[in-house]
Amino acid sequence: MPTGVAIRDPRTQLFDAAERLLLREGPHALTSRAVTTEAGCAKGVLHRHFADFDAFLAELVLDRIDRLTDRAAALRDSAGTGTVTNNLTAALTDVFHSVAVAIIALITFRDDLRTRLRATRSTPGIPLVSEATAMINDYLAAERDLGRLTPDADIDTLAPTLIGSAHLLFADRTGEPPTIEAVGRTVAAVMAGSLAP
């Protein structure tokens, strides 16, 4: 690898390289050497910006969790517009694109990473999945407050059910992702008894 060449944004470059590896080869392929080779930089670049490889992976996951903040705000703002089913379908499809599924696999694959992430977060559960569930829960609460869900809609059960169902639809990272229609059918089935008439 060339040395002495400035890299504009090494964190982003390394994170993007790790995502490409995750998508192409899965969590077992992630090593510091594989990431820096994929990023086209010297191995020392990673260790200059992160304490160790697990610190790099933790920062990657936390960065991807932070991206949910904008998605959560947009979903919450969509309450009262369109249809609940379509809003949920779009949000779940967006959350569970292939990178998110690959990151969830990474978290479950690496015990040390999971332990490190738990130490830095106040949210219980699997990182990224917990935040996605909270995002759906907040949206459903907003829709219930607007009267578009039945008053007794159990959003604390609906949100994880929607997340789990969507994750199962998207879990096969080697196959074709589900169609928007397939995601919509699943959302409609889960929400069937909770939509206001």
Q: Give the tens place of pLDDT for each residue, 108-151.
A: 888 888 888 888 877 778 888 889 999 999 999 999 999 999 99
Q: Which pLDDT score is estimated for 104?
A: 85
Mean pLDDT value across the chain: 89
Report, as an integer, the average pLDDT of 7-20: 87
Report, as an integer, the average pLDDT of 173-178: 77
Position 158 pLDDT exceeds 80: yes
Alpha carbons 144 and 103: distance in angstroms, whole number: 31
Q: Which residues lie below 8 Å from residue 51, measured CB to CB, with a gap of 6+?
A: none
- Strand-pairing partners, residue 51, are none
Name the residue type at position 85: T
Give me the helices (H) in the chain, please: 10-25, 32-39, 43-49, 53-77, 84-95, 98-109, 111-120, 129-145, 155-170, 180-191
Q: Please name the CATH architecture into which domain 1-49 falls.
A: Orthogonal Bundle (1.10)
For the chain, what are the domain ranges? 1-49, 65-191
**Model confidence, pTM:** 0.84
